[in-house]
């Protein structure tokens, strides 16, 4: 295996510029084809899982596993928004810093952040200091703080497609960037007042939180208990 065989998804929140990238090269609406690859332990995994050491654990233990709970889903939604235009490894390596900066993404606490907190975030080298993304994360917390307990969880999971109607992808080229469900979820979240939730970001959320299983058919982590 060489690095050139590994493709990593990068999302943008603007539906007009949703892209996938391989390394630093924009590849547009397609994903470079790639079958499951053997890792150091000999097990087959999605190729992107082998592009960085931190990815193996994330791929095996988190990505595609069901995530429930309003705060947990708010964290995933926020981090997927911060990923927009970047590779996920950039966010994953800064996740501890994000959690420290955003009170572990507890909605009720982030909703109370002040202008001073906003300035603190803009100066925090431990996160992505993007003004629009920070403002969206704070605004989303204020919106979600008005929702009933469990409402965000139920709302997001109501857009999970029937797994019986989905064929396991054989290669990365079989994995979509956007689906009708992610487009509908994006529109519904925006209608409820949430920001930075384009259809590609929404689909990345669905993948990460287990609403869909996009582990390749031969991947060791596919629907593993």
Binding site listing for Zn(2+): 46, 59, 215, 219
Mutual angle of helices 131-144 and 70-83, in 10-degree steps: 160
Q: Which residues are catalytic?
A: 58, 80, 88
Count Cβ neighbours within 10 Å for each residue of 28-46 and write b for 16 or more, e otherwise.
eeebbebbbbebeeebbbb
Q: List C-alpha distances in Å: 204 to 126, 148, 199.
A: 23, 25, 9
Please state, in angstroms and rounded to a whole number, the distance separating the CA atoms of residues 69 and 37.
Answer: 33
- Output the CA torsion sign for 90, 127, 135, 107: positive
> Which segments of the chain does DSSP mark as H helices, in order?
53-61, 70-83, 88-101, 107-110, 115-122, 131-144, 151-157, 180-191, 199-208
**Known binding positions:** 46, 59, 215, 219
Please state, in angstroms and rounded to a whole number, the distance separating the CA atoms of residues 45 and 119.
Answer: 41
């Amino acid at each position: 295996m060489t690095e050139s065989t590994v493709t990593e998804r990068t999302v943008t929140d603007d539906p007009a510029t949703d892209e996938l990238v391989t390394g630093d090269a924009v590849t547009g609406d397609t994903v470079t084809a790639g079958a499951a690859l053997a890792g150091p332990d000999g097990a087959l995994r999605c190729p992107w899982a082998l592009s960085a050491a931190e990815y193996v654990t994330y791929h095996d233990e988190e990505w595609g596993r069901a995530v429930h709970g309003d705060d947990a889903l708010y964290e995933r939604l926020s981090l997927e928004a911060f990923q927009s235009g970047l590779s996920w490894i950039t966010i994953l390596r800064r996740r501890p810093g994000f959690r420290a900066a955003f009170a572990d993404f507890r909605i009720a606490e982030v909703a109370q952040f002040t202008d001073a907190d906003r300035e603190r975030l803009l100066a925090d080298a431990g996160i992505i200091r993007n003004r629009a993304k920070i403002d969206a994360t704070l605004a989303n917390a204020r919106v979600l703080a008005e929702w009933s307990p469990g409402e965000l969880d139920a709302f997001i999971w109501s857009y999970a497609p029937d797994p019986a109607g989905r064929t396991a992808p054989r290669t990365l080229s079989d994995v979509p960037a956007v689906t009708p469900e992610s487009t509908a979820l994006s529109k519904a979240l925006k209608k409820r007042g949430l920001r930075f939730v384009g259809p590609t970001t929404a689909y990345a959320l669905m993948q990460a939180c287990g609403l869909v299983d996009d582990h390749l058919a031969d991947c060791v982590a596919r629907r593993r208990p």
